[in-house]
Amino acid sequence: MILKRLLDWLAGYWPEWAAYVVVGLVGIMVLIAFFLTMIMVVIWLERKLIGRFQVRWGPNRAGPWGILQPIADAIKVLTKEDIVPDRADKWVHLLAPVVAFVPPLLIFAVIPFQPDAILADLNIGILYVVAVGSIAVVGAFMAGWGSSNKYSLISAMRVAAQMVSYEVPLVLSIIGVILVVGSLSMMDIVNRQSLPFFLMQPLGFLVFFLAAAAEVNRSPFDLLEAESEIIAGYHVEYSGMKFALFYLGEYGHALAASALVTALFLGGGKFPWGALPPSFIWFLAKMVLVFCVLFWIRSTLPRLRVDQFTGFAWKFLFPMSLINIFLVGTELWWAKEMGWSLFPWPFLFLNWAIAGMLVLVWPKLFQLGVGRVEV
């Protein structure tokens, strides 16, 4: 590891704690620079692609192909007047953007870009991600409650409903991966994927992807900031840099979710035919691809209604994630009994068949939100 080598080198000259802090800060600075740059790239990419999806140009004034648009946005947002409503709870209103911004950045500490490019390979990596990732919701709830706006409050309640519904399938779908790997460390998870897990566990992949898309509030699950119903939801009363923090946090969370999909199900930085470029390039390529699929979905599907939104999580995703756990568990036990002789190809086809059948048959068992609903 680069950081470890740097630490050993510095510890030869300085006291150990000083070397440790300096090395940590170097790693963190690289990580934060990467995080902010990636967000800017992704914002530009999203605006450009959504523009094309909607048959218009997208940003094309600032710089060639509008590349400088995120920087122009940053300058604009920095010079906006900071408005705090008179009736707002001033402290909650002030702290909410901080709480929403920090957790996505913390998730990136354990994202395994490459064996030697991970800030901290915690032995409880994925559990840490789950724990930290759900804190961002608290920020959105604080914002909605603290700005004393009725639309924001409705949005805050929807945030809570969303968290309550989608957290369970998200967390359960990860268990299929852990069953195979037998470790919570992100690096171990990537190392075990000689065959990417989305091939072995299509059901778990589907559930995780959809639940993650809902957790990061991408359309069609973006009804907590549904512009046509509740203005902009929890951040109506924010302006200037505080709004920018929400914006950064939201995109950071979406990036973290696509990085997680990459690391858990798409094999991280691994590439089937050798590794010509360094593996973090593959990781980034897969991550951006997942992100593009997220906004492809966003620009294709209309927004769900709130009862359909929660019903989808409980009636479809949750049973699917439970079935996935026991499917994988039974297969692992059976493969072990057979001495791993048949592993993995028959199981792969079996899993795809079962997943396809369930996806086709299960939705026939119930209906999602028929008729009028008073929200």
Q: Taking CB under 8 A as the criterion, which residues in 351-370 touch other proteins?
A: 369
Whether the CB-CB separation of 63 and 73 falls below 8 Å is answered with no
b (16+ CB within 10 A) / e for 229-249: bbbbbbbbbbeebbbbbbbbb
Q: Taking CB under 8 A as the criterion, which residues in 225-254 touch other proteins?
A: 231, 236-237, 240-242, 244-245
Q: Taking CB under 8 A as the criterion, which residues in 290-319 touch other proteins?
A: 306-307, 310-311, 314-315, 318
Quick note: the x/- pattern for other proteins over 84-123, rule CB under 8 A, is xxxx------x--xx--xx--xx--xx--------xxxxx
Kindly tell me which of 52 and 87 has the beta carbon lying closer to other proteins. 87
Instruction: Report DSSP letters for 180-239, one per residue.
Output: HH----HHHHHHT-SS-HHHH-HHHHHHHHHHHHHHTT-TTS-GGG-HHHHTTGGGTT--
Nearest approach in angstroms of CB 328 to other proteins is 9
Kindly tell me which of 142 and 290 has the beta carbon lying closer to other proteins. 142
Kindly tell me which of 153 and 290 has the beta carbon lying closer to other proteins. 153
Kindly tell me which of 60 and 134 has the beta carbon lying closer to other proteins. 134
Quick note: the x/- pattern for other proteins over 250-279, rule CB under 8 A, is ------------------------------
The DSSP symbol for 305 reads P
Amino acid at position 152, single letter:
S
Tokens representing 55? 């048959």
Stretch that binds other proteins, among 37-45, 62-70, 216-224, 321-329 (CB under 8 A): 321-329
Whether the CB-CB separation of 372 and 308 falls below 8 Å is answered with no
From the list 40, 49, 33, 36, the residue with the least C-alpha distance to 69 is 40
Q: Does 330 bind other proteins (CB under 8 A)?
A: yes
Nearest approach in angstroms of CB 115 to other proteins is 12
Q: Taking CB under 8 A as the criterion, which residues in 27-86 touch other proteins?
A: 27-28, 31-32, 78-86
Whole-angstrom distance, CA of residue 328 vs CA of residue 358: 15
